[in-house]
Amino acid sequence: MSDHTMNMLGVQITWLGHATFKITSPQGKVILIDPWTQSNPACPDNLKQVDRVDIMLVSHGHFDHMGDAVSIATATKPTCVAIVELAGWLEAKGVQNTIGFNKGGTIDVQGIKITMTHAIHSSGVEDKSYVGDACGYVLEFENGRRLYHAGDTCAFSDMQLIHELYKPDVALLPIGDFYTMGPKEAAVAVRMLGVKHVIPMHYGTFPILTGTPAALREALQGLGLSEVEVIEMKPGQTI
């Protein structure tokens, strides 16, 4: 265990590298967000094979967020959650038990409340199908703790609405720059979200994703937010 001060009351968060997280709820539900393991260079070899998933969430159609969605869903038969057009695409690929909904909606899946949030990013799949917008998710676990996974996005002022409406306890934010926000933007996102704990993601996977947790800490200090805890996970680590 790491020396962070976040207390999610039994929520276990495992980073599989990049934007891929496996989260175990207090009641033991296994949630996989943005399934990309086999060709994910940041995913440790012993975690590339995912054997159990109860709920799978996909933020958008890019390969680095759903490269293994079809294969893992076929093997583990989770409830698969995505924006409506992407859910339809996954169904066409043989994925069963999809829930396709849209931004602003909240669903209850096996006791976990899942809200789809806005994200500002592109989306698309290799076969050029239209698969809807990119999105993020707020998860509320059985114990009331709330986690925000931003997906891929720039910082946007409606993150203040995510704070007002859902009050996340922790935010998983991309900081790599280039395809998403970098540390400077992520620090402002933290301020808008009002979170005291942030887990950086979507950095270091490829050389072009240059943002670092240290740069995020520095940017937070520059905003007078040095009390915010940057939880720097290692791929494969569970907190």
Binding residues for Zn ion (CB under 5 A): 64, 152
Q: Residue 85 is encoded by which pair of tokens?
A: 């057009």
Q: Which residue has the tokens 């989260």?
A: 23
What's the min distance (Å) between Cβ of 152 and Zn ion? 4
Q: 64 or 68: whose CB is closer to Zn ion?
A: 64
Question: How far separated are the first and last CA of the chain, in Å rounded?
Answer: 6
Which sign does the torsion angle of CA 7, 118, 88, 203 carry?
Answer: negative
What's the min distance (Å) between Cβ of 177 and Zn ion? 12
Q: 152 or 169: whose CB is closer to Zn ion?
A: 152
Q: 59 or 98: whose CB is closer to Zn ion?
A: 59
What's the min distance (Å) between Cβ of 202 and Zn ion? 6
Judge contact between 74 and 90, C-beta under 8 A.
no
DSSP letters spanning 154-215: ---TTHHHHHHHH--SEEEEE---SSS--HHHHHHHHHHHT-SEEEEES-SSSTT----HHH
Q: 141 or 156: whose CB is closer to Zn ion?
A: 156
What's the min distance (Å) between Cβ of 64 and Zn ion? 4
